[in-house]
Structure 1
Amino acid sequence: MKKVWLLTALVLLGWLATPKTAQAQYNNWAVGFRVGEPAGVNVRKYFGENRAFDLNIGTYGGLYGNARKYRSGRYRSVGLAVQGHYLWHKALTKSESVRGYYGFGGQINTRRYYPIRLNGEYENALSLGGSGIAGVEYFPAGKPYSFFLETGLYVELLQAPFFLNLNSGLGLRYNF
């Protein structure tokens, strides 16, 4: 897993170091990384002037604690998460370098779950739920990358209905 993170970071640094003459755009693809909950690789596809689809693939449970009460037991590990959102975005400045966005989607997580009935042993728990997100994205003039800061809420539907978790993060995307 550490090799994947290192490779992703090196590729992104290579893209950032390469001289570019094009303006940063928000109507194509963007690939980057997100630090937060969930943390991992981030892919965004912009559609037209004000819509996008955002996909995060990475870890879940690391930011707000990997030891947490859950159902009739506890989580004691970081798991895998896949999160997707359909977004609406709008320019917040005349230059369109700062854009706000919000959206809704879902999230699938898998973690080690330690129920009381197993006396210290674990089982893999797959959870599914809905999520909402809102954020701000900054596109530096003349640069092919953007920075973002976002926050939202995950509401689990399956295994533990109405289990809530704050989803927030910041990151960097290369726009092409």
Structure 2
Amino acid sequence: MTSNVAQAQYNNWSIGARIGEPSGVNIRKYFGNNHAFDLNIGTYGGIYGTTRSYRSGDYKTVGLTIQGHFLWHTALTKSESLRAYYGFGGQINNRKYYPDYLSGQPIDFVKGNISLGGSGIGGLEYFPVNKPYSIFLEAGAYLEVLPAPFFLNLSTGIGARYNF
């Protein structure tokens, strides 16, 4: 006896691209039926504007970020083609910071700023039946711990992954 139910094609690993905050490469490792680890490596600060108040100054450029989340996911359809997920993790950023006290100084006085914080994310992922790719939409937040406690930044994204 054979089953006519088509199954979603999520496998052990997937790699793709994400547009949003952050934008860049996305890698996901699935564990069992309802866990995954999600890693984003890319730019930070480009979508919501390069100039943003930060501490006693401004960010005025796009930076680099690495973001990782442990995820829980569940099927929303019998075929498992639509899945919801949420998770928590952390983020490290490197972005140029322009303190107010250095305004009017040459660009050489701009400070590199490494920041660290926690983040959370939730989203939906669609796996077309019998196809090796998926499309996702997600939203979350980043809450900085160091050096500016409680600095909050939204994290949204849309993207696609190839599942292998």
The TM-score with structure 2 as length reference comes to 0.92
Task: Answer yes or no: is the 8 Å Cα contact 1:27–1:48 preserved in 2.
Answer: no
Quote the residue 1:34 is aligned against.
18
The TM-score with structure 1 as length reference comes to 0.85
Q: Distance in 2 between matches of 1:169 and 1:86?
A: 17
Within 5 A, what are the aligned runs for 1:1-176?
A: 24-119=8-103, 120=105, 121-176=109-164
- The structural deviation recorded for 1:142 is 1.3
Detail structure 1 runs of 4+ shifted over 6 Å in the superposition.
none
**Alignment-mate amino acid for residue 62 of structure 1:** G
Structure 1: which 5+ runs fail to align? 1-22
Q: Report the secondary structure of 1:117's partner residue.
A: helix
The higher radius of gyration belongs to 2
Task: Answer yes or no: is the 8 Å Cα contact 2:26–2:40 preserved in 1.
Answer: yes
Q: Report the secondary structure of 2:101's partner residue.
A: helix
Q: Distance in 1 between matches of 2:60 and 2:16?
A: 28
Q: Report the secondary structure of 2:160's partner residue.
A: strand
Residues 94-122 of structure 1 deviation map (CA, whole Å, 9 limit, x = unaligned) = 11000000000000001000001223431
**Alignment-mate amino acid for residue 49 of structure 1:** N
Structure 2: which 5+ runs fail to align? 1-6
Q: Report the secondary structure of 2:80's partner residue.
A: coil
Q: Identity percentage over the alignment?
A: 69
